[in-house]
Copies of this chain bind each other. A is one copy, B any other.
Amino acid sequence: MSKENRAGIADVAARAGVSITTVSHVLSGRRPVSDKTKAKVLRVVQELDYRPDPSARGLRTGRSEAVALVVSDVTNPFYPQMAAGLQDVLQPQGFLISICSVRENSEDLDAALRHLLDRKVDGVVLASLTAQERHYAAITDAGASLVRLSGELDPRFGDIVRADDTGGMADAVTHVLERGNRRIGFVNGDPDTAPGRLRLAGYERALRDFGVEFDESLVVSGPFTRAGGVEGAHALLALDPAPEALVCANDLIAVGALDAVRERGLSVPRDVAVTGFDDIEAASLLSPPLTTVHNPAREIGRTCARLILERLSEGPAQGAREVVLPQKLIVREST
Chain A positions near chain B (C-beta within 8 angstroms): 1-2, 51, 53-56, 58-59, 64, 66, 74-75, 77, 79-81, 83-84, 87, 94, 96-101, 114-116, 118-120, 141, 226, 252, 255, 258-259, 262, 280-282, 285-287
Contacts and interface: CB of A to CB of B under 8 A. Distances in A.
Contacts of A259: 287
Contacts of A59: 53, 55-56, 59
- The 8 A-B pairs of least Cβ separation, nearest first, read A282-B282, A55-B58, A55-B59, A282-B285, A74-B80, A98-B98, A99-B99, A80-B80
Given A53-B59, A87-B74, A100-B97, A258 B287 contact: yes
A83 B76 CA distance: 12
Given A100-B97, A119-B54, A282-B285, A74 B64 contact: no
A97 B96 contact: no
Contacts of A56: 55, 59
A83 to B, nearest CB: 5
Contact of A80 (B54, B75, B281): B75
A84 B98 contact: no
B75 A285 contact: no
Complex copy number for this chain: 2
A146 to B, nearest CB: 16
A141 B1 CA distance: 7
B114 A77 contact: no
Given A51-B118, A119-B96, A285-B226, A84 B75 contact: yes
A102 to B, nearest CB: 9
Contacts of A115: 94, 96
Nearest to A79: B80
Contacts of A81: 74-75
A26 to B, nearest CB: 19
A54 B101 contact: no
A1 B141 CA distance: 7
Nearest to A119: B54
Contact of A99 (B83, B255, B286): B83
11 contacts: A1-B141, A51-B118, A55-B55, A55-B56, A55-B59, A75-B80, A83-B99, A96-B116, A97-B100, A259-B287, A285-B286
A51 B87 contact: no
A317 to B, nearest CB: 13
A177 to B, nearest CB: 27
A87 B97 CA distance: 15
B74 A77 contact: no
B101 A51 contact: no
Nearest to A60: B55
A207 B77 CA distance: 37
B54 A118 contact: yes
A185 B263 CA distance: 30
Given A259-B287, A281-B282, 20 more contacts: A2-B141, A53-B118, A54-B118, A55-B55, A55-B58, A55-B59, A55-B64, A58-B58, A74-B80, A74-B84, A77-B281, A96-B100, A96-B116, A97-B99, A97-B100, A98-B98, A226-B285, A255-B285, A258-B287, A282-B282
Nearest to A99: B99
A114 B282 CA distance: 37
